[in-house]
């Protein structure tokens, strides 16, 4: 079966029609993510990122629905209360870009139209003040996690590495959101160099690669990692304890990215999901993950060196944001958050 962007959009529309007829508390539904672009496929695959806003508390925050072995729905749920203050949504680094320009599929009582109009509010969304608020929020998240890690005394395990990777991701997105939406998981290392260049800091692409251990992989990603990652991914998915992205329907979605992306661009989705998988595996089943992160310098004293490098990266982001603020007649740093 030939699957096109139009095919997947049609599935999104049909799914929305069924869900809104069955779930009467859905206020709005919209499509986000790669299907909004003209080139959504990576390794021949993509997912369908749907968002449902519900009147009350949703039954879950995320739901993965298998369509075929290669395609799936990735559904996010939000409660109406999250949109009570459109001004706050506007400066939210996740909700703001999500609401600004999705593909609207369903809107009961013009709820979405009202929220989106308030978020856009003329040119307020893209004003330097709003952009910097979103970026500073991400920077603050990254700095807060760094504070947790800087004096860490316990052994480094998957929970600590996952915490560190979250800080790295937020710091990277603080740069990325200066010129667009947050970067998607599979495309972080692929698209970050362009965002860093647009921000006038091309050297940060190398710094990001260093933070995840990419500079230790001189010949690219080790081929032997893929089957070991897959083994752990499947075991974690079958355990029923892993977070939603570790789902059997997403196996090929990640695997194709690893096989397709050149250089170290596939490292982030592999490392990120492997770490989430390791979090729910028994300690005696984490040795493949442990070997990989050891090679990447994410254990022992080398991990603390990475945390120190993260500190420097966060400082560079803060300096850049301050420069932009001053150039636009705005207050720098923490006064924006």
Query: So where are the chain's domains?
Result: 5-120, 128-318
pLDDT, averaged across the chain: 95
High-pLDDT (> 90) share of the chain, %: 93
Residue 73 has pLDDT above 80, yes or no: yes
Distance, in Å, from the CA atom of 280 to the CA atom of 320, rounded to the nearest integer, reads: 38
Residue 90 has pLDDT above 50, yes or no: yes
| pLDDT tens digit sequence for 200-221 | 999 999 999 999 999 999 888 9
Helices (H) and strands (E) in the chain, counts: 13, 5
- Output DSSP code: residue 302: H
Residue 276 has pLDDT above 80, yes or no: yes
- Contacts (Cβ under 8 Å, ≥6 apart) of 317: 135, 139, 142, 171, 174, 175, 204
168-186 mean pLDDT: 97
291-310 mean pLDDT: 96
pLDDT band at 66 (very low <50, low <70, confident <90, very high): very high
Is residue 314 within 8 A of residue 333, CB to CB? The reply is no
| pLDDT tens digit sequence for 109-144 | 999 999 999 999 888 999 999 999 999 999 999 999
Residue 101 has pLDDT above 60, yes or no: yes
| pLDDT tens digit sequence for 14-50 | 999 999 999 999 999 999 999 999 999 999 999 999 9
Q: Which sign, positive or negative, has the C-alpha torsion 270, 271, 272, 277?
A: positive
Burial of 14 (0-12, 13-18, 19+ CB in 10 A): exposed
The CATH class that applies to domain 5-120 reads alpha beta
pLDDT confidence of residue 336: 46
pLDDT confidence of residue 334: 52
């Amino acid at each position: 079966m030939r699957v096109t962007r139009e095919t997947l959009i049609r599935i999104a529309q049909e799914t929305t029609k069924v869900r809104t007829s069955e779930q009467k508390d859905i206020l709005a539904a919209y499509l986000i993510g790669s299907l909004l672009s003209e080139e959504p496929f990576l390794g021949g695959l993509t997912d369908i990122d749907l968002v449902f806003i519900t009147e009350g508390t949703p039954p879950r925050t995320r739901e993965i629905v298998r369509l075929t072995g290669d395609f799936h729905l990735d559904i996010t749920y939000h409660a109406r209360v999250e949109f009570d203050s459109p001004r706050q949504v506007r400066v939210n680094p996740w909700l703001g870009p999500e609401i600004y320009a999705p593909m609207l599929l369903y809107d009961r009582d013009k709820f979405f139209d009202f929220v989106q109009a308030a978020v856009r509010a003329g040119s307020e969304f893209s004003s330097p003040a709003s952009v910097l608020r979103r970026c500073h929020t991400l920077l603050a998240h990254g700095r807060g996690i760094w504070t947790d890690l800087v004096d860490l005394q316990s052994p480094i395990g998957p929970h600590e590495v996952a915490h560190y990777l979250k800080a790295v991701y937020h710091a990277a997105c603080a740069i990325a959101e200066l010129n667009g939406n947050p970067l998607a998981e599979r495309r972080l290392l692929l698209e970050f160099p362009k965002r860093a260049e647009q921000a006038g800091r091309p050297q940060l692409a190398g710094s990001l690669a260093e933070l995840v251990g990419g500079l230790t992989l001189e010949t690219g990603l080790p081929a032997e990692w893929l089957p070991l990652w897959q083994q752990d991914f499947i075991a974690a998915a079958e355990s029923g304890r892993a977070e939603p992205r570790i789902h059997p329907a997403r196996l090929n979605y990640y695997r194709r990215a690893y096989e397709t992306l050149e250089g170290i661009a596939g490292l982030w989705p592999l490392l990120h999901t492997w770490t989430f998988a390791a979090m729910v595996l028994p300690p005696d089943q984490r040795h493949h993950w442990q070997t990989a992160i050891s090679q990447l310098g994410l254990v022992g004293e080398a991990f603390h060196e990475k945390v120190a490098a993260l500190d420097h990266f966060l400082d560079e982001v803060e300096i850049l944001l301050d420069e932009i603020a001053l150039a636009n007649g705005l207050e720098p740093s923490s006064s924006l958050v």
